[in-house]
Amino acid sequence: MSAIKLRENIWSVGIQNPALRVFDIVMESKYGTTYNAYLVTGGEKTALIEAVHKDYFDELVRNVEEVMPIEKVDYLIMNHTEPDHSGGVRALLDRCPNLTVLCSASAKKFLSAISNEEFPCRVVKNGDTLDLGGKTLTFISAPLLHWPDSMFTWDEADKTLFTCDFLGAHFCEPSMVDTGIHAVYRRAYEGELRYYFDCIFGPFKPAVLDGLDKMPAEAELVCTSHGPCLTTATLDQVKECYRQWATPSPRPAVKTAAVLYCSAYGCTASLAKAAAQALADDGCQVTTVDLVDPQGADVAGLVNGCDIVLFGAPTINRSAPEAIWDAVHAVDAINTRGRAAGAFGSFGWTGEAAGMVHEQLKQLKFALPEAPFKVCFTPTEDDLAAVAAWARSVAALVKDPAPAAPAKSQKYICKLCGYIYDPAAGDPDHGVAPGTAFADVPSLWTCPLCGMDKAMFKPL
């Protein structure tokens, strides 16, 4: 791929990888991907946005040098520091000794660990600017889109927004713009756009809605870090898709429960049926799925959307069946707060499965009973009554939304590191007096533990 001119002072200088079929271990990339980077020039200074995967650094240099010598790049803007964006940072610092990196506070922490060296760095906050000489770039904090370090970079003069992963797709389009996608592949691109959203941004839907609201309304070009840039031809459509996908469905008036199980000889299935019936009798809306034959059930939707999730696992080779682990691994680890889960199962010899699943659910921060429920071989009537009671005890762990605390005393928690800001204590070590409500904490204040800004906090 060569440098592609997008605007008078903006070039796409990233990398195309059309042959890639698996991205970062967990995502299929049927149409390859791109590692996008952008060169932005002003009257006096030049900025490179993103630094691509380390395996493609030499190609990045060749693309930049179609426009200017790489050593003349003044700034490297890192909207996000995952290694597919930052892999070339260390080599770039070696080539450009006068380079200054601009990034968020948490990005600085990550980059130091990725590059294993100190480097000239300017940490930027929401609203900070960079003057390139006749062109000013503005930084917009966008945490959890999809890492805590994420931000957007806004070029007001050219009405261009650099959003990193936000609104992207693993789709290798040679022209690097949405208008270049052939009609034959339009539906394929739309499918990859949705798949990318589900995999990358599905766990962060509130942040998605915040990100959409932070986008300047006058943006005419959005430059993502994967896939084609978005022009006015499709930008509004893509934004509306993101809004629809991220907007939560109305919650049922009753508790919802999923009972997911595997059963070789019907023993664990009997426990699942008894547990599900008990929850249904108590007024829960229950979905029961045999994971060996789920018949189209949305397992990921169930484990991430239900108030109560029960996993029924027989023991095979001292572990749970693969289908059970697949369901457990579909849990979004950041969205388990206030929800309850439990593990149960029948076993023949040793019975490790339910306990192993229980420990994994504990790591995922579900509310859990003290122990999993398990029986040896065929459950008796007493066992079935006991698993029903156990299921009810799990349901009782679901927390109803707490009433809002008075604004002045409301505590806030950092979504990255768990630090709790207590207005009563304040943060005197960083200039915030005791008795300061979170709303009155200065906008430039950052988390004392991880350095994230106020946008990373939510009410506790």
Tokens of 219: 């943006």
- State the pTM of this model: 0.87
Q: Is 343 helix (H, G, I), strand (E, B) or coil?
A: strand
User: pLDDT at position 406, please?
Assistant: 67
E-assigned strand segments in 166-231: 221-224
Looking at residue 401, what is its pLDDT? Answer: 57
Beta carbons within 10 angstroms of residue 398's beta carbon: 17
Integer Cα distance of 254 and 240 in angstroms = 30
pLDDT of residue 402: 54
Max CA pair span of the chain: 81
Across 58-107, where does the E strand assignment appear? Answer: 75-77, 100-103
Type of residue found at 252 = P
One pLDDT digit (tens) per residue for the chain, 460 residues:
689 999 999 999 999 999 999 999 989 999 999 999 999 999 999 999 999 999 999 999 999 999 999 999 999 999 999 999 999 999 999 999 899 999 998 899 899 988 888 899 999 989 999 999 999 999 999 988 998 899 999 999 999 999 999 999 999 999 999 999 999 999 999 999 999 999 999 999 999 999 999 999 999 999 999 999 999 999 999 999 999 999 988 888 899 999 999 999 999 999 999 999 999 999 999 999 999 999 999 999 999 999 999 999 999 999 999 999 999 999 998 889 899 999 999 999 999 999 999 999 999 999 999 999 999 999 999 999 999 999 999 999 998 755 556 678 899 988 777 788 999 999 999 899 999 999 899 877 888 887 777 877 888 8
Neighbours of 330 (CB within 10 A): 15
Q: How far apart are CA 222 and CA 162, in angstroms?
A: 6
With residue 11 as reference, give the H or E element that holds it.
strand 10-12
Alpha-carbon distances, residue 22 vs 54, 73, 227, 321 (angstroms): 17, 32, 15, 24
Three-state SS for 145-168 is CCCCCCEEEEECCCCEEEEECCCC
115 φ, ψ (degrees, to nearest 5): -90, -20
Identify the CA nearest to 245 among candidates 201, 277, 214, 282.
201
Q: Are 220 and 213 in contact (CB under 8 A)?
A: no
Crossing angle, helix 205-214 and helix 235-246, to 10 degrees?
150
* Model pLDDT, residue 370: 96
